[in-house]
Amino acid sequence: MSILDKIYELTVQGNYREIGEEVKKAVDDGIKIDTIINESLSKAMLYVGDRFGEGELYMPDMLLAAKTMKTAMDILKPLMKGDEHISEKGTLVIGTVKGDLHDIGKNLVITMAEGQGFKVIDLGIDVDYGKFVEAINEYRPDIVAFSGLLTTTLGNIPDHIKALEDAGLRKQVILAVGGAPVTREFADRYGIEIYAPDASTAAKEFVKALSEKK
């Protein structure tokens, strides 16, 4: 088994204890960082996401795989600075909407998006409307994602969008939304371009949206 296959298998298995050693070996062997990410980590997370969507794996499996990938990325990120081989697909600003304190889903999306080559700006939980506006002005993201797990806080998403409109920023970004109570119909109602029922789908939709934009 090649070292890239080993990293893939460890990620699928959620073996965060052993992944670091293998990733370091791969780097020491001269394997390019983007190859490790694209050929092992990203593929593994997409596989886990697909199996989760089909009901073959469960949330604990997703969380362990995400923790494993994060462990690997924590090693790779410092090495990515100034690496001419790394090409970011785009920038994503993400946060859990005002009034909502949940972050598991958001963190999974971040892991998946980073695995697909996105630079991610995490605004955290219970994010005020103005923070999204400030982040867009500062980071000029391609995509802004709203995460919400509570039905009671879905009503805040239109207010988040209005804040972007009032600031003249709405047309500059692609909007995405996700979370347990969110539906495609909800996204369409408010003109949100991307809806994803899970983190794996979200990452795929981000990539698709940017390719269509170009």
- pLDDT the model gives residue 175: 97
CA quadruple 29, 41, 120, 144: dihedral positive or negative? positive
Q: Averaged over 161-171, what is the pLDDT?
A: 96
- Give the type of residue at 148: G
Bigger pLDDT: 203 or 131?
Answer: 131
- pLDDT the model gives residue 4: 96
Calpha distance 162→151 (Å, rounded): 19
- State how beta strands 174-178 and 143-147 pair: parallel
Using 50, 70 and 90 to split pLDDT, how confident is the model at 168?
A: very high
| Phi and psi torsions of 151, nearest 5° | -60, -35
What whole-number percentage of the chain has pLDDT above 70? 96
- pLDDT the model gives residue 85: 47
Reduced to 3 states, what is the DSSP secondary structure of residue 30? coil
Residue pair 134/121 in contact (Cβ under 8 Å)? The answer is: no
- pLDDT the model gives residue 38: 81
Calpha distance 80→32 (Å, rounded): 10
Mean of all residue pLDDT scores within the chain: 90
- pLDDT the model gives residue 83: 52
Q: Which two tokens stand for residue 34?
A: 């983007």
Calpha distance 21→111 (Å, rounded): 20
* Sheet-wide strand order for 90-96: 118-122, 90-96, 143-147, 174-178, 194-195
- pLDDT the model gives residue 6: 97
pLDDT (tens digit per residue) in 17-33: 999 999 999 999 999 88
Domains, in order of start, for the chain: 3-80 (1.10.1240.10), 90-213 (3.40.50.280)
| Phi and psi torsions of 85, nearest 5° | -85, -15
Q: Averaged over 80-98, what is the pLDDT?
A: 76
Other residues' Cβ atoms within 10 Å of the Cβ of residue 173 = 20
Q: Averaged over 6-20, what is the pLDDT?
A: 97
- pLDDT the model gives residue 200: 78
